[in-house]
Amino acid sequence: MTELTPAQTAGPFLHIGLLWPGGEYAVPAGTPAAFWLRGTVRDGNGDPVGDALIETWQIEPDAFARTPTRPDGTYAVHTVAPGPGYLDLSIHARGLLDRLVTRVYFTPDDFFTGLDPARRETLIAVPADDGFRFDIHLQGEHETVFFDV
Amino acid sequence: MTAFERAAGIHPPHDSPGYRSTARRHPSQPLILLPHGPTEVTGPLLGGRRPDPSDNDLTRQHSGEPQGQRIIVHGRVLAGGRPVRTTLVEVWQANAAGRYRHAADNWPAPIDPNFTGLGRILTDEDGRYSFTTIRPGAYPWGNHDNAWRPAHIHFSLLGEAFAQRLITQMYFPDDPLLALDPIFQSIPDERVRGRLVAGFDLAATKPEWALGYRFDIVLRGPEATPMEGDDHDD
């Protein structure tokens, strides 16, 4: 193991350093077949997490979004369906000493099918009015599956 | 496609009782190992955002100079022993009095009208970065009785791949608050924690101008491929 640098929390003031104007647009407005991926981030008490940063990365096409959660815990990312059928999503926040990583599935694959059937549904993007819904539960009964990436 | 090395034992655990905010925000289920595929070994690179050259001087973003000790922070970003070139380094910090320019920070220390506390730098061909700022102050927080965060600068690195994404904090040497800080102490291995403490650097110190500090950052490199003949003990 090389001398890897350890992570530390982004803290409650991450907005100073990490906000990008229009960062929620992984693809520009007007992109054909684009949609909104929307969700709410909640903690183990079911309370909204209003001070987090959501980042998404996908390929085919390459597209990156970065957006803060609002005080009610909601976020929205404007994107298109990724070629592999999923995108990767990171959560940074106060209380997270390292990012949490999950996957948003639009089309299940073999890896998804190999996951615990009782929990893997938390990774499915659910069709909604203007796109898809992906709620994130950091802890508790409906806890999202998180990955060691 | 090459997978990235694993960082077992390096990062702090999500459940870290000394840092109270982790209590309701850490997953109760173990993380599931995610094999690296084409999405994890690629990344946003610049994310389409190229900083202005002036973004590397946090003391020149307003009409006047900020209060505080002027410092130069520099170092290299490496992965697998090689420089990470043209990658975005984003930094943010409190002012010299320990106050962030943020609506959620309202402890009674002064705002500095000449300090925002945000910098952006691209690494060069050798993976080097450098920026000028003022030394941030320590500040109190509500984690426990008489809790104070040691002076620190937040660092964000995109690296070259999603698997390399890193957000961390740089600390200053000989700070007595480090031994008392549940966030710094959340990293289990003392030697690993020490990697977050910048070194005073006389060579980078500019006479009659600013103190120099060096902070190198090592991101995950390619996974080592076992070589034939590696299975014997020396």
pLDDT, tens only, B144-175: 999 999 999 999 999 999 999 999 999 999 99
Nearest CA in chain B to A144: B27
- Predicted TM-score of the model (pTM): 0.96
Mean pLDDT over B215-224 rounds to 94
* Predicted local distance difference test score (pLDDT) of residue B54: 84
Give the contacts of B49 (CB within 8 A, at least 6 positions apart).
A20, B88, B120
Strands (E), chain B: 32-33, 70-79, 82-83, 88-93, 118-122, 128-134, 139-141, 147-149, 152-157, 166-171, 199-200, 211-214, 217-219
When CB atoms are compared, the residue of A13, A84, A97 closest to B92 is A13
Q: Quick check: B230 pLDDT over 50?
A: no
Burial of B103 by CB count in 10 Å (0-12 exposed, 13-18 middle, 19+ buried)? exposed
Percent of chain B residues topping a pLDDT of 70? 94
CB contact under 8 A, B102 and A66: no
* Predicted local distance difference test score (pLDDT) of residue B231: 46
Shortest distance, CA A107 to any CA of chain B (angstroms): 15
Catalytic residue (one of B85, B154, B165, B214): B154
Tell me how far apart the terminal alpha carbons of chain B are, to the nearest angstrom: 31
- Using CA atoms, how far apart are residues B57 and A103, in angstroms rounded to an integer? 37
Shortest distance, CA A133 to any CA of chain B (angstroms): 21
Q: Quick check: B43 pLDDT over 70?
A: yes
* Predicted local distance difference test score (pLDDT) of residue A49: 98
* Predicted local distance difference test score (pLDDT) of residue B50: 80
Interface with B, mutate which of A14, A15, A16 (most B CBs under 10 A):
A16
CB contact under 8 A, B26 and A20: no
B171 tagged catalytic: no
B152 tagged catalytic: yes
Mean pLDDT over B32-53 rounds to 87
Percent of chain A residues topping a pLDDT of 70? 99
Q: Quick check: A88 pLDDT over 70?
A: yes
Nearest CA in chain B to A58: B39
When CB atoms are compared, the residue of A9, A64, A139 closest to B47 is A64
Shortest distance, CA A97 to any CA of chain B (angstroms): 6
CB contact under 8 A, A98 and B38: no
What average pLDDT is seen over chain B?
A: 94
The torsion region of residue B52 among left (phi > 0), alpha (psi -120 to 50) and beta comes to beta
pLDDT band at B12 (very low <50, low <70, confident <90, very high): very high
Q: Quick check: B182 pLDDT over 50?
A: yes
Catalytic residue (one of B19, B99, B129, B139): B139
* Predicted local distance difference test score (pLDDT) of residue B47: 53
Mean pLDDT over A70-95 rounds to 98
* Predicted local distance difference test score (pLDDT) of residue B48: 59
Q: Which residue has the tokens 């090592």?
A: B218
Cβ of residue A61 closer than 8 Å to a chain B Cβ: no
Length of chain B as a residue count: 234
- Using CA atoms, how far apart are residues B46 and B160, in angstroms rounded to an integer? 9
- Using CA atoms, how far apart are residues A125 and B97, in angstroms rounded to an integer? 45
Mean pLDDT over A43-52 rounds to 98
Q: H helices within chain B, ranges in order? A: 190-194
* Predicted local distance difference test score (pLDDT) of residue B97: 98
* Predicted local distance difference test score (pLDDT) of residue B45: 77
Percent of chain B residues topping a pLDDT of 90? 88
Cβ of residue A64 closer than 8 Å to a chain B Cβ: yes
* Predicted local distance difference test score (pLDDT) of residue B234: 40
Q: Quick check: B229 pLDDT over 70?
A: no
Q: Which residue has the tokens 């819904």?
A: A133
Cβ of residue B129 closer than 8 Å to a chain A Cβ: no
Name the residue among B92, B87, B57 with its Cα closest to residue B72: B57
- ipTM over 0.90 threshold: yes
